[in-house]
Structure 1
Amino acid sequence: MEFFIDTMELRQTGATPVRNRRRHPMLMLNGRLGILNEGFVLTDLLNHELGRVRQRSIGVFPRFELIVDDTSVGTIKQMFGVWHEFIYVSDLNWIVMGNLLTNQYRTYHGIRLIMQADSQTWMPDGIHLTVNAPDDCTSAILLAILLDHFSRIGSPHLVWPPESPLANDFS
C-alpha cells in the first residue's frame, strides 16, 4: 500500500490527511510532539482512532511509545551517534536503516521488508511510504512521522522558513 504524507502541513497546522496513490485522503494524522503536547494520533476519516505515538520520557534521548488499537506495540529511542542512520523499534523488532535526515530509509523485521520511505517529488516536504502488509500500516505511518520529527530536531533550517534579511540586522 502506498501513502503520501505532507509533513510541512502537519507541522504548521497540527493536522494533515494521509493520501493514497491518487492523492485522495484515506486517513487523518493529528497532533504535535513535545512535553506539553499529547503526540500524534492517526484516525480514519470518521475520526475513529487507529493508533498514536506518545512521548514517554524526557531528556537528551526521550523514549516514544507506539500504540495501536489501545495496545502498546513498540517503543523507540534515539541512540547517541547513530540515530540518523539506524533506529531499533523494540517489541516490534523492526530495524530502520537509511538516511533518516532525508526520509529515505527501509524498515525490516529480520529479512522481511516492512516499509520503504522516500522523499516526494510532487510534495516538497512530504513522505512517500510503501507498506508491504496491511496489518503494518498504522505502525508504519506513525513510525514515519516520528522519524520525520527526529530529522527536524537539531536542523532548524529544515523546520522554519528562512528568516528575512532584516532579522539579523543589528545596527
Structure 2
Amino acid sequence: MADYFIQEKSFGNANTLVKDQEGHPLFTLVGRTGTKDDWLTLYRMNGENVASVKQVRWPFMRRFEIYEGSQKVGTLQRFLSWPSDFYFVQQLHWVVYGNLAQHRYKIQHFNQEIMSMDKTQLLAGGHYVLHVTHEKDAPVCICLAAILDYWNYHYNRGSLFYHNDTLELNANYQTFSKK
C-alpha cells in the first residue's frame, strides 16, 4: 500500500504536485476540465505521461474517459448521488462511493479496495491523502480523484436532470392519484 499527498485545493484546473509521505514530488497533474474535450494529464517528474483524462459530454450527463499512457482503460460516469455519491468506471469494473463534499470516498473492484481518500493536516497545511492498495493503480486513482474534486467544486448538485425529472413525475403521479 502506498500513500499519495495532494495539497488541499481545487486541483482539477491547475498544475498540481502529487507527493509521497516524505514530501518528495512523484507526479504532476497538468491541464483543465470544464468543457468538452478538455484533458488532464498526469506526468512522472521525468516527463513520462502515465495517465490522462478526457472529458466527454453526452446528452444530459458528463463522462470522463480514462487513459493509461495512450490506451483507454475506462469511462467514469455518475451513477447515483443520493444519499451517497456513487460512480462507476466501465471497463475496469470499479465502483466509487462515499461523501464527495467531505472528500472521503473509496474505490472498489467487487470486494477489493483499490483506493481510499481522506483529508489530513500536515505542516504545510491541509492535504488529501490517497491510500492506494497497489502502486500500479496509482496514476488512474489520482486522475479519478481529480475528476471527483472537479465534480465537487464545479457541479451544481441540485440541478441533476434525472432528479428533476423524477420529482416532476412523482408530483404528476401524486396529482393524478388524488383526483
TM class, shorter-chain normalised? Answer: 0.7 to 0.9
- Structure 2 counterparts to residues 129-148 of structure 1, below 5 A: 129-148=130-149
Larger Rg: 2
What is the alpha-carbon distance in structure 1 between the residues aligned to residue 83 and residue 58 of structure 2?
A: 17
Tell me the C-alpha RMSD between the 2 structures. 2.2
- Any runs of at least 4 consecutive aligned residues in structure 1 with deviations exceeding 3 A, and if so which? 9-12, 79-84
Structure 2 residue 94 is matched with structure 1 residue 113: no
What is the alpha-carbon distance in structure 2 between the residues aligned to residue 11 and residue 47 of structure 1?
A: 19
- Structure 2 counterparts to residues 1-171 of structure 1, below 5 A: 1-8=2-9, 10=11, 14-35=14-35, 38-79=38-79, 81-82=81-82, 85-122=85-122, 123-124=125-126, 126-154=127-155
Alpha-carbon shift at residue 101 of structure 1 (Å): 1.7
List runs of 5+ in structure 1 lacking aligned partners. Answer: 156-171
What is the alpha-carbon distance in structure 2 between the residues aligned to residue 72 and residue 8 of structure 1?
A: 27
TM-score, length of structure 1 as denominator length = 0.80
Deviation sequence 1:112-160 (CA, Å, 0-9, x none): 1100100122333x421010011211111100111111111246xxxxx
- Which has the larger helix fraction? 2
Contact 2:87 2:97 in 1 (8 A): yes
TM-score, length of structure 2 as denominator length = 0.77
Q: 1:83 to 1:3 in 2, by over 3 A?
A: farther
List runs of 5+ in structure 2 lacking aligned partners. Answer: 157-179
- Which has the larger strand fraction? 2
Deviation sequence 1:46-98 (CA, Å, 0-9, x none): 21111101102255421110000211111011235449521111111001111
Contact 1:97 1:107 in 2 (8 A): yes
Aligned length: 154
Q: 1:27 to 1:114 in 2, by over 3 A?
A: same
Contact 1:84 1:151 in 2 (8 A): no
